[in-house]
């Protein structure tokens, strides 16, 4: 990639290029921060979306208490970028990865999720040997049926094992309602959150009755942040996608109205084989489509009809529209996180002008 000079018009950036509208991003960050300003729950945004220390520091400056990460590799990038408190909201498994996390805990506050007593034992041994302290949340299955122990007794049992393990600090519970974040109707989503997060809160109560201090109860995604974040007992919200939004989240009631889409892919027409078809230079290697094809920003009369590896086909409703090879269009990804995961660079633009080029430092850091 030839890095273009700053200050140029966004249409002079070579394609495909992943653009951030910085004004929109900053508004999104502010909107979520404002919501949590007077709430008991605090924001610990997930870096899975932006993957970039500078944006993490912007979130922290607006009140975030630290960052949530998916993997050890993401946590390293954040800590190396100066973030002082990271939660790895997943199980850290395997000798090498445990060692990395334990060593990282000498340089920042590091907390991980567990759902297995053998894993607790391995973490404990490594932490003790390294002389580090690793924070631990017991992951509770709140209905997504992925990882996590069942609520109530199984969670209490594992929490006690953590409490007894050297090198580890039991800090609380985590339960991610990922099965609810995309429920389109707000009222349905709210009712389901009350029901499912209720299991997490009940489990917290059980632990406290058993004499355990539950400092953290972590949950929530962008689709549920403003619901789960209001439930008494929840202390942290992990929302990440709100920073940029994407096509799928924009359609979710109660979310789409509050946040705007900051992330688009600048692409270029490479061929117009017929009056009603153009081909652009972005395919599956530049934009993902597991949540549906991207949409063409500002052109409701244009429709993405297929993506091959390096090409997107766009159907034109109006055969008389003037568009030709070399013209540029912006695509709105349906799924920001996986699209960003393909790119090395963000092009930050403000009012149509290139202001920053940022490395996506945690891109591909899934190890």
Residue 175 binds to a copy of itself (criterion: CB under 8 A): no
Among the listed ranges 1-9, 20-28, 205-213, 247-255, the one in contact with a copy of itself (CB under 8 A) is: 1-9
Residue 1 binds to a copy of itself (criterion: CB under 8 A): yes
Q: Kindly provide the residue ranges of all beta strands, DSSP E only, lying in the chain, ordered along the sequence.
A: 17-21, 42-43, 67-69, 85-91, 109-114, 134-139, 168-174, 216-219, 236-237, 263-274, 277-280, 295-296, 302-307, 312-316, 328-332, 345-350, 353-359
Contact yes or no for 180/243 (Cβ under 8 A): no
25 or 307: whose CB is closer to a copy of itself?
Answer: 307
With H, G, I as helix, E, B as strand and everything else as coil, classify residue 10. helix
- Out of 210, 276, 325, 356, the residue judged to bind a copy of itself by CB under 8 A: 325
Element at 186 (helix H, strand E): helix 186-209
Shortest distance in whole angstroms from residue 221 CB to a copy of itself:
11
Residue 96 binds to a copy of itself (criterion: CB under 8 A): yes
71 or 204: whose CB is closer to a copy of itself?
Answer: 71
Binding mask 336-365 for a copy of itself (x = CB under 8 A): -xx--xxxx-------------------xx
Residue 310 binds to a copy of itself (criterion: CB under 8 A): yes
Angle at 205 between CA 199 and CA 210, to 5 degrees: 130
- Out of 104, 142, 279, 314, the residue judged to bind a copy of itself by CB under 8 A: 279
Residue 284 binds to a copy of itself (criterion: CB under 8 A): yes
Residue 68 binds to a copy of itself (criterion: CB under 8 A): no
Q: Report the length, in residues, of the chain.
A: 367
Residue 71 binds to a copy of itself (criterion: CB under 8 A): yes
Could you give phi then psi for residue 127, rounded to 5 degrees?
A: -65, -45
- Out of 209, 232, 319, 324, the residue judged to bind a copy of itself by CB under 8 A: 324
Computed on alpha carbons and rounded to an integer, the radius of gyration of the chain in Å comes to 22
User: 211 in the Ramachandran plot: left (φ > 0), alpha (ψ -120 to 50) or beta?
Assistant: left
Among the listed ranges 156-164, 221-229, 248-256, 321-329, the one in contact with a copy of itself (CB under 8 A) is: 321-329
For residue 16, say if its preceding peptide bond is cis, omega within 30 degrees of 0: yes
Residue 224 binds to a copy of itself (criterion: CB under 8 A): no
- Out of 5, 211, 309, 319, the residue judged to bind a copy of itself by CB under 8 A: 309
The rounded Cα 339 to chain-centroid distance in angstroms is: 12
Element at 50 (helix H, strand E): none
Q: Which of these, 204, 222, 245, 263, lies nearest to 22 by C-alpha position?
A: 263
Residue 218 binds to a copy of itself (criterion: CB under 8 A): no
Q: Kindly list the residues in this chain that would bind a copy of itself in the complex (CB under 8 A).
A: 1-2, 4, 14-17, 48, 70-71, 73, 90-91, 93-94, 96-97, 100, 115-116, 118-119, 141, 145-149, 178, 268-273, 277, 279, 281-282, 284-286, 288-290, 308-311, 313, 324-326, 337-338, 341-344, 364-367
């Amino acid at each position: 990639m030839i890095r273009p000079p700053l200050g140029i018009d966004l249409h002079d950036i070579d394609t495909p290029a992943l653009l951030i509208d910085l004004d929109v991003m900053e508004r999104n960050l502010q909107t979520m921060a404002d919501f949590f300003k007077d709430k008991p729950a605090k924001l610990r945004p997930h870096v899975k979306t932006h993957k970039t220390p500078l944006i993490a520091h912007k979130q922290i400056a607006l009140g975030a208490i630290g960052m949530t990460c998916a993997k050890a590799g993401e946590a390293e990038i954040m800590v190396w970028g100066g973030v002082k408190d990271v939660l790895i909201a997943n199980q850290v498994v395997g000798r090498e990865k445990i060692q990395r996390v334990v060593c990282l805990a000498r340089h920042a506050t590091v907390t991980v999720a567990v759902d297995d007593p053998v894993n607790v034992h391995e973490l404990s041994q490594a932490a003790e040997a390294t002389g580090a302290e690793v924070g631990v949340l017991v992951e509770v299955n709140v209905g997504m049926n992925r990882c996590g122990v069942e609520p109530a007794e199984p969670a209490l049992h594992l929490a006690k094992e953590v409490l007894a393990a050297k090198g580890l600090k039991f800090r609380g519970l985590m339960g991610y309602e990922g099965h609810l974040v995309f429920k389109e109707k707000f009222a349905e989503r709210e009712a389901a959150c009350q029901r499912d997060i209720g299991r997490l809160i009940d489990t917290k109560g059980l632990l406290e009755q058993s004499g355990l201090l539950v400092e953290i109860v972590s949950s929530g995604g962008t689709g549920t942040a403003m619901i789960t974040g209001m439930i008494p007992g929840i202390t942290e919200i992990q929302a990440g996608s709100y920073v940029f939004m994407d096509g799928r989240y924009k359609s979710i009631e109660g979310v789409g109205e509050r946040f705007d889409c900051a992330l688009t892919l600048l692409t270029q027409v490479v061929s117009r084989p017929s009056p009603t078809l153009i081909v652009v230079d972005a395919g599956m290697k530049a934009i993902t489509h597991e949540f549906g094809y991207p949409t063409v920003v500002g052109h409701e009369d244009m429709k993405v009809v297929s993506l091959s590896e390096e090409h997107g086909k766009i159907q034109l409703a109006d055969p008389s529209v003037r568009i030709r090879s070399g013209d540029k269009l912006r695509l709105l990804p349906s799924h920001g996180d996986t699209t960003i995961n393909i790119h090395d660079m963000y092009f930050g633009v403000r009012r149509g002008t290139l202001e920053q080029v940022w490395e996506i430092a945690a891109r591909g850091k899934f190890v």
